[in-house]
Amino acid sequence: MADSIRVDTVRDIVRLTIDRPERQNSIDAEVIEELHRALDDAERRPDCRIVLLEGGDGVFCTGMDLGEAATGPAEEGGEAFFGLLKRFTTTSRVIVSRVDGRVAGGGVGLVAASDFVYASKRSTFALPEALWGLLPCCVLPFLIRRVGFQKAYTMTLSTQPVSAAEAERFHLVDELTDAPDPVIRRLAFRLAKLDESIITDMKRYFRAMWILSDEVEQKAVQEFARLMSSPTVRQRLTDYATEQRFPWER
């Protein structure tokens, strides 16, 4: 089976490309495991300062794989995904998301947990979970930390996508650019001057300033598992996985 994450290393940058075009770059257990392995490798490289995450073909990431979600253990999926996002905020490497295209659901979580986000003008960001009878439980603690309560709330409630320009205005995106490479190289040049330990110390200190506690993690995972255990939600996910039928098409 082909890897779902392509890994390329250029000097001090490890580039991770989500490569599941046939599944709209969705996240399953294997994607999470591959990302952890890639982070392990990046952390072993003394010259690496940046882990660059990207998608392709106009899709960055569309969140959880609905086919796997329909049959997999609910709590395990939530726990694994929250653990990945938490690692983004604790690793000694700087996580940069380069977004070019559609971002939805858990993909917004990957973006929100990143240290820097650069997006093309055609990119969009959406939280459609409520349409399925779900909530972006594991995404929200990281999204609220990045953009504030109200915008995270309205994105969740409306389910409507927001443009890249709007996402930049409320700081989900750090910079809007269709040519991010020079921006990322300048960032890498500055980060090379920092000790690895200060990046770890800074992430730990800033994390202590926010609500990403063990209790918040437990609440997020438990609520996700509760909603995913609903027979109605399971049927909706199964209908989509087997018939490509959306909940509103019942």
Regarding pTM above 0.85, the answer is: yes
Can you give the pLDDT at residue 170? 97
CA atoms of 64 and 43, how far apart (whole Å): 26
* Span 103-143, pLDDT tens digits: 999 999 999 999 999 999 999 999 999 999 999 999 999 99
Where are the domains positioned within the chain?
5-176
Share of the chain above pLDDT 90, in %: 78
Radius of gyration of the chain (CA): 17
Mean pLDDT by 10 residues, the chain (250 residues): 84 94 92 96 94 94 84 78 97 98 97 98 97 95 97 98 98 96 95 93 92 91 92 88 79
Answer whether CATH 3.90.226.10 is correct for domain 5-176: yes
Residue 1: what pLDDT? 43
